[in-house]
């Protein structure tokens, strides 16, 4: 028989993973009948808890991990700065790890916790939509997911999160263009196949079009990959279609800057010929010429709140929390009102 994990024991016992965890850790808030049933199954199947993982929290490690998705988005640099300040203040050390775009984020998080014997982990971005709660229970290490997407039916008792409403923020950006009189609005995004924030921003774009009676046209969409180069290439593809765009919503400022470069390199003007709205609120967008209108994410709030929650968990002060922060539309020079 294969080595059973805590999820297998829970399934056999007909209880939740958290209940099995409480039995294993001798927590008092379990009914005697349930406790006896779980212990009997554990004995029957000779289940041995993953002590090497469960004991990570009890080691003398003073390391806090920060797992970052990709290496190209400077938006995360600000978050890391605020997180590192809190880690230093608490007398811990930060271990920073960048995860490849094609790598499995959940596996990378688990591996980093085990390898570095982390006291806690903050994940910036990434895909955690298929997170298995048994992985977190076995690790017994506080995790905060920041600036990513949390699916509605996720068991939120095993992790914390600090996020924004990506769909609403994208809706606000495109609605702004619609109110300016634009109807031929393109989009550069990671697409509907993106299971993280890219998908939500794409949905926000389509919802805004629907509200203003504009039919979604797939020809107005191109895929980008959160880099300057991909924004540049995607914008050139849109321009090659000759579809008389008057505006483009781009789901990251990095891609928006690349797209703006493509527009200007063709002798077109921003915003006279094409209006641009980005997403993130990074400093580069403010100092690009013309300055790019964008959705500003609360970088300080995301960074500081993520770190505060993590240390509250480490100190046992609070249970897991789930915070949603507000975004802000910054109106700059890259958008024009149509007559």
* pLDDT averaged over every residue in the chain: 88
Assess if residue 291 is contained within a domain.
Answer: yes
Say whether both 259 and 225 belong to one domain. Answer: yes
Say whether both 160 and 309 belong to one domain. Answer: yes
Assess if residue 77 is contained within a domain.
Answer: yes
Over residues 295-307, the mean pLDDT reads 96
Say whether both 35 and 69 belong to one domain. Answer: no
**Separation of alpha carbons 96 and 191, rounded Å:** 28
pLDDT band for position 29 (cuts 50, 70, 90): low
- Output the pLDDT for position 304: 96
Per DSSP, helices labelled H in 27-71 are 32-44, 51-54
Assess if residue 182 is contained within a domain.
Answer: yes
Say whether both 141 and 185 belong to one domain. Answer: no
- Output the pLDDT for position 66: 96
- Segment holding 15, helix H or strand E: none
pLDDT digits (tens, 9 = 90+) for 98-138: 987 777 888 889 889 988 889 999 999 988 877 666 666 66
pLDDT band for position 56 (cuts 50, 70, 90): very low
pLDDT at 149 over 90: no
Say whether both 28 and 103 belong to one domain. Answer: no
pLDDT at 317 over 90: no
Assess if residue 331 is contained within a domain.
Answer: no
pLDDT at 58 over 60: no
| DSSP helix/strand/coil, 63 | strand
Say whether both 170 and 289 belong to one domain. Answer: yes
Assess if residue 55 is contained within a domain.
Answer: no
Q: What are φ and ψ of residue 273, in 5° steps? A: -100, -45
pLDDT at 274 over 50: yes
Assess if residue 34 is contained within a domain.
Answer: yes
Say whether both 146 and 73 belong to one domain. Answer: yes
Contacts of 27 (CB under 8 A, 6+ apart): none
pLDDT digits (tens, 9 = 90+) for 164-184: 999 999 999 999 999 999 999
- Output the pLDDT for position 134: 67
Say whether both 107 and 186 belong to one domain. Answer: no
- Is the separation of the CB atoms in 163 and 147 below 8 Å? yes
Say whether both 276 and 222 belong to one domain. Answer: yes
pLDDT band for position 314 (cuts 50, 70, 90): very high
Choose among 155, 219, 163, 221: nearest CA to 188. 221
Choose the weakest-confidence range: 96-105, 217-226, 319-328.
96-105
**Separation of alpha carbons 277 and 71, rounded Å:** 23
pLDDT at 325 over 50: yes
Where is pLDDT greater, at 323 or 44? 323
pLDDT band for position 24 (cuts 50, 70, 90): confident
Total of domains in the chain: 3
Give pTM, 2 decimals.
0.80
Q: Which domain holds residue 111?
A: 62-164+299-324
Assess if residue 338 is contained within a domain.
Answer: no
Over residues 302-330, the mean pLDDT reads 94
- Output the pLDDT for position 179: 98
Residue 181 is part of a domain; what is its CATH number?
3.40.50.2300
Say whether both 71 and 149 belong to one domain. Answer: yes
% of residues, the chain, pLDDT over 90: 59
Say whether both 139 and 36 belong to one domain. Answer: no
Over residues 71-90, the mean pLDDT reads 90
pLDDT digits (tens, 9 = 90+) for 229-249: 999 999 999 999 989 999 999
Contacts of 234 (CB under 8 A, 6+ apart): 188, 222, 223, 224, 255, 258, 259
Residue 43 is part of a domain; what is its CATH number?
1.10.260.40
Say whether both 41 and 74 belong to one domain. Answer: no
pLDDT at 205 over 50: yes
Q: Which two tokens stand for residue 43?
A: 């004995």
Assess if residue 333 is contained within a domain.
Answer: no
Over residues 141-157, the mean pLDDT reads 81
**Separation of alpha carbons 290 and 89, rounded Å:** 39
């Amino acid at each position: 028989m294969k080595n059973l994990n805590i999820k297998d024991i829970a399934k056999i016992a007909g209880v939740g993973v958290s209940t099995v965890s409480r039995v294993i850790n001798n927590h008092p808030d379990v009914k005697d009948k349930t406790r006896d049933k779980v212990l009997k199954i554990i004995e029957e199947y000779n289940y041995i808890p993953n002590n090497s993982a469960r004991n990570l929290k009890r080691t003398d490690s003073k390391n806090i991990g920060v797992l970052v998705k990709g290496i190209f988005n400077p938006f995360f640099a600000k978050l890391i700065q605020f997180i590192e300040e809190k880690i230093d203040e608490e007398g811990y050390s930060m271990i920073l790890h960048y995860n490849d775009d094609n790598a499995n984020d959940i596996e990378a998080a688990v591996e980093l916790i085990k390898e570095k014997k982390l006291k806690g982990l903050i994940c910036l971005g990434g895909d955690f939509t298929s997170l298995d709660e048994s992985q977190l229970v076995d690790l017994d290490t506080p995790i905060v997911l920041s600036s990513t997407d949390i699916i509605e039916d996720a068991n939120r008792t095993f992790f914390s999160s600090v996020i924004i409403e990506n769909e609403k923020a994208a809706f606000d950006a495109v609605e702004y263009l619609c109110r300016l009189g634009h109807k031929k609005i393109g989009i550069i995004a990671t697409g509907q196949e993106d299971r993280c924030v890219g998908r939500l921003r794409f949905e926000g774009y389509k919802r805004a079009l629907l509200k203003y009676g504009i039919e979604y046209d797939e020809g107005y969409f191109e895929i980008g990959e959160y880099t300057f180069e991909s924004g540049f290439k995607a914008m050139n593809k849109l321009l090659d279609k000759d579809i008389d765009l008057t505006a483009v919503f781009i789901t990251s400022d990095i891609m928006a800057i690349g797209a703006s470069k493509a527009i200007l390199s063709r002798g077109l003007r921003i915003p006279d010929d094409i209006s641009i709205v980005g997403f993130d609120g990074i400093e580069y967008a403010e100092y690009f010429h013309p300055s790019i209108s964008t959705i500003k994410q609360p970088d300080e709030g995301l960074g500081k709140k993520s770190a505060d929650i993590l240390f509250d968990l480490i100190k046992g002060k609070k249970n897991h929390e789930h915070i949603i922060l507000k975004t802000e539309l910054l109106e700059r020079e890259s958008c024009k009102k149509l007559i």
